[in-house]
């Protein structure tokens, strides 16, 4: 997909904010941004949404390989109800438990991105061992 002007502008904004807030960033093969926040790798994904609007997904993988059972899915849904920001999700194809927060790209502020990255990292750290101990799989980070 060819990037439109809104997405190019968002990328420039994200790069400036990540430099200001975290002193830099890495990029993956898909041109997403990576921040190491403590022991957690946080992925920042700028995306085209509808028309000229954009979204920023702030994501981390918590666990790989845990069997996807009714007990696990019930746990994640129940925890989603307790969490104020962000959500758990499952990447069934890769057997991955993910924690993510989504932001409107068109209205993104530096502080909002910084807090989202930190929130995703802190929440992931809080749940990594609990999920690993209860459901198995490989804890990431």
Mean pLDDT by 10-residue block, N- to C-terminus, for the chain (141 residues)?
A: 86 98 96 94 96 95 96 97 95 96 97 97 94 94 74
Q: Structure tokens of 52?
A: 């000229």
Quote the pLDDT of residue 1: 57
How far is C-alpha 29 from the geometric centre of its chain's CA atoms?
Answer: 16
From 57, 58, 55, 59, select the one nearest 10 (Cα to Cα): 55
Cβ atoms of 135 and 75 within 8 Å: the answer is: yes
pTM score over 0.75: yes
Cβ atoms of 14 and 109 within 8 Å: the answer is: no
């Amino acid at each position: 997909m060819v990037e439109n002007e809104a997405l190019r502008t968002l990328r420039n904004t994200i790069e400036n904010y990540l430099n200001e807030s975290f002193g830099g960033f890495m990029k993956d093969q898909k041109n997403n941004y990576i921040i190491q926040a403590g022991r957690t790798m946080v992925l920042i994904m700028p995306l085209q949404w509808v028309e000229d609007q954009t979204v920023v997904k702030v994501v981390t993988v918590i666990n790989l390989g845990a069997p996807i059972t009714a007990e696990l899915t019930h746990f994640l849904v129940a925890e989603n109800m307790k969490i104020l920001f962000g959500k758990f999700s499952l990447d069934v194809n890769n057997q991955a438990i993910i924690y993510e927060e989504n932001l409107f790209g068109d209205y993104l502020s530096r502080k909002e991105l910084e807090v989202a990255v930190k929130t995703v990292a802190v929440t992931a750290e809080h749940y990594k061992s609990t999920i690993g101990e209860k459901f198995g799989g490989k804890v990431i980070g």
